[in-house]
Structure 1
Amino acid sequence: MRDWLVALRAPGLGHQGLRQALERLGDVHTLVRADSATLERAGIGAEAIEAIRHPDEALLARDQRWLEHEGHHLLTLGDEDYPPLLRRIASPPAALWVAGDPALLWTPQVAIVGSRNPTRGGFDHAGDFSATLGAHGFTITSGLAAGIDITAHRAVLDRGLPTIAVMGTGPDVVYPAAHRDDAARIARQGAVVTEFTPGTTARPSHFPGRNRIIAGLSLGVLVVEAGMKSGSLITARLAAEQGREVFALPGSLHNPMAKGCHRLIKQGARLTEATEDIVEALAPVAAELADALRERLGAPASVPAKADAAAAHDGFDDDPDYARLLEAIGHDPVAIDRVIESSGLRAREVSSMLLMLELRDRVELLPGGRVCLRAPTTP
């Protein structure tokens, strides 16, 4: 781990430079132990070479102290636990600092972003879409910013569901500071993620990079409200460039916070009026990712979808975890947080499993974060 800390602390190298150097030299162990001439041939600048050859031990100790805390992780690009969707983008971070559950980064995610100064309707839409998509098994990812971002995070947290916050600061620096308690709550219930080393403060240049991670982790991005110069449009553009779905809520012609969404729709974003628009578009790839997560956690993957989606028995009843979950649901509507408590399963597992059950028509997800068994269809 020390080798990675040394490389990540090299000034002027950056994640792209580090990835390129690793491609030329093979691995971080070789990079850190190479002589100056070898590092120079690998395209590393003089300042970074000096830092690699003579690292700042105080900074390394700071990083190590952060990692020693329970729930703190460093996922490097070569790790098996590195999120698969993010690995596919053109410029994946060489490493991610994670406070919380790193396995959550494998779950099917929808990014919800928008204005820092939304209308009352924007706040309501952000909360409603976030809560409903969370109940459908999607993890909500956003940037911890004021306005739409924090509203989306809080909506799922209040329902006992996980969320992911991607920051443009170090993992120990919360921006804005007013959201420090929210960040701590997200770390306990979900995951806080950043590519920046501990101690890094907020700078305007950091946030486009933060936005590429939000888009890269997610299957799709929903823009709730955005002005014509909103940073959310950057996230949407990056998502489109990465081959992800972009969704936008239409609004009043007289609402300046709707103009960015209307522009996105003109450019090909999906006009979105209900969560069903998002679920239907993302369900096929979400199912694949949910299965990949269960395999990564050591649980058997769910069975492939059958031609008859309403088949009464599809293998879920033979899986002990699914059987516990189905028993906790029942035929009467029940709150998802009660299902989590009754089943004894973790929230992130329940989210993915509910998504799979809904795709196979075994359960019905209802407004208000409730769920019930779906009545079998008669032939």
Structure 2
Amino acid sequence: MTNDNQDALLHLVEAGGSAATRRALLDAHRDPAAALAAGPRAWRAAGCDEAQVRAIEATATVSAQRERARAWLAEPDHHLLGWHDPDYPALLRRIPSPPLALFVAGDPGLLWHPSVAVVGSRSPTAGGRDNARDFARAIAATGLGIASGLAAGIDTAAHEAALGAGGVTVAVLGTGIDHPYPRANTGLYARIAEHGAVVSEYPPGVGVQRGRFPARNRIIAGLALGVLVVEAAERSGALITARLASEAGRDVFAVPGSIHNPMARGCHRLIREGAGLVEAAGEVIAAVAPLAAELGDALRSRLDAPSSGPGTPVAGPSSAGVMDDPDYNRLWQALGHDPTGMDRLVERTGLTTAELSSMLLVMELEGRVSVEHGRYARKRHDTANTAPPGAGRGK
């Protein structure tokens, strides 16, 4: 990203207001600098209200916050990914409210790495902590990443186990990117930044604010193929993460526990509501493996393809072969040019949510499908009579 675009993106981040309108502004222009240069009329056309227009205008001069962000980004292995960036993580684009930008300490490419989120109580039992370590270590040993929130308890155990196994781990903060929380995990933050990635939607200098942690959970869920809840009370942030994952079409798993353990009640509630009951890491690995393989294929195609922006189709050698599959044809016929929710696609195709989520990811990365607020549609460049390669073949 050029310095002009970096500064323009920091400007848009600082302006605040609805992220959806700022994403629309980036969608309408080739880059952040062009979006800012377009002026108030274009900002309003993207959906910005008068308060947001005034906020964008008011941040035209460089603030102390932006200077701090610039200084942070000048350090080695510090990065900023915006909605316009083709390296913005593909899975995260598909959640109902994706962040406008991500600050990353470490390797931003790991945000594309197939991962499982491991979450749970900040005050787990000894057995819960052991389960988190065992599951995370076994999952990481297969090459899958471990995503979590750097919180005390289950999150900490999962990150440490992944690092100990020599695996990939990604920590998502609910504070500014330069503000590890809790402070006791400052050393763990540094290890993850060195060997994995730490990510936040909040710029340097943003401190602890209670309401930001539930918002952080949507990013944990959005980066992962599935969420494993190891131990959680009935009212906990881990259950918020699980709900957000389910809304995004991801698998949710829960480890059962004793009926006498209050930290198991959240897991039991999830199981009653349809989460997968798992007793061994292999069950989680087997469930997410198909989507992990497809994400890996899509990433390889992405790395081989030229980058011209987030709308660039990711065409790989397997593209036509995928669309020859009769299930993909069935899904293609179920999609229209008006956004369609996952429940309706399940009804039209007879396929499961997990199957559709996997297939829609591939079609999105190939540039065939767009997603907004959890609803799917054919890309605009496809006409009403367009059929995917191989349409009409198979059953």
SS state at 1:152 partner: helix
Partners of 2:85 and 2:119 in 1: how far apart? Answer: 29
Q: Distance in 2 between matches of 1:41 and 1:105?
A: 32
Partner of 1:190: 196
Match of 1:284?
290
1:8 corresponds to: 13
Cα root mean square deviation, aligned: 2.3
Q: How does 1:104-119 map to 2 (within 5 A)?
A: 104-119=110-125
TM-score, normalising length: structure 1:
0.75
- The answer to whether the aligner puts 1:217 opposite 2:219 as a matched pair is no
Q: Aligned AA for 2:277?
A: L
- Which of 5, 18, 24 aligns to 2:22? It is 18
Q: Higher mean Cα deviation, 289-298 or 76-85?
A: 289-298
SS at match of 2:179: coil
Tell me, what secondary structure is at the counterpart of 1:84?
Answer: coil
Q: Is the 8 A contact 2:254 2:267 kept in 1?
A: yes
Look up the SS of the partner of 2:266 in the other structure.
helix
2:89 is the counterpart of 1:74: no
Q: Does 1:231 align with 2:245?
A: no
2 CA distance for matches of 1:302 and 1:133? 29
SS of equivalent residue, structure 1 residue 9? helix
* % identical aligned pairs: 52
Question: CA separation of 1:244/1:56 partners in 2, compared to 1, >3 Å: closer, same or farther?
Answer: same
Task: From the superposition, tell whether residues 240 and 205 of structure 1 become closer, same or farther in structure 2 (CA, over 3 Å).
Answer: same
8 Å Cα contact 2:27-2:84 kept in structure 1? no
The one-letter amino acid of 1:19's match is: R
1:273 paired with 2:266, answer: no
User: Does structure 2 retain, via aligned residues, the 8 Å contact 1:25–1:42?
Assistant: no
**Structure 1 pair 17–298 and aligned structure 2 pair: CA distance change class (3 A):** closer
Aligned equivalents of 1:155, 1:45: Cα separation in 2? 46
Q: C-alpha offsets along residues 5-38 of structure 1, whole Å, 9 cap, x if unaligned?
A: 1111103x24233124445667533432244455
Q: Which amino acid aligns with 2:156?
A: I
Check 1:164–1:46 CA distance in 2 against 1; reply closer, same or farther (3 A cut). Answer: same
2:56 is aligned, of 31, 52, 55, to 52
> d(CA) in 1 for partners of 2:44 and 2:288?
45
Q: 1:7 to 1:239 in 2, by over 3 A?
A: same
- Whole-angstrom distance in 1 between the partners of 2:67 and 2:258: 53
* Change in 2 beyond 3 A, CA 1:4/1:162: same
Q: Give the alignment of 1:117-132 within 5 angstroms.
A: 117-132=123-138
What's the TM-score once normalised by structure 2's chain length? 0.72
- SS of the counterpart of 1:246? strand
Give the letter aligned to residue 206 of structure 2. T
Distance, in Å, in 1 between the alignment partners of 2:285 and 2:164 is 21
* Counterpart contact for 1:77–1:93, Cα < 8 Å: yes
Q: CA deviation at 1:211?
A: 0.5
**How big is the shift at 1:47?**
4.8
1:123–1:51 CA distance, 2 compared to 1 (3 A): same
Distance 2:285 2:66 in 1: 44
Aligned residues: 302
Q: 1:43 and 1:292, CA in 2 relative to 1: closer, same or farther beyond 3 A?
A: closer
Counterpart-to-counterpart distance in 1, 2:111 and 2:219: 11
Unaligned runs of 5+ in 1: 305-379
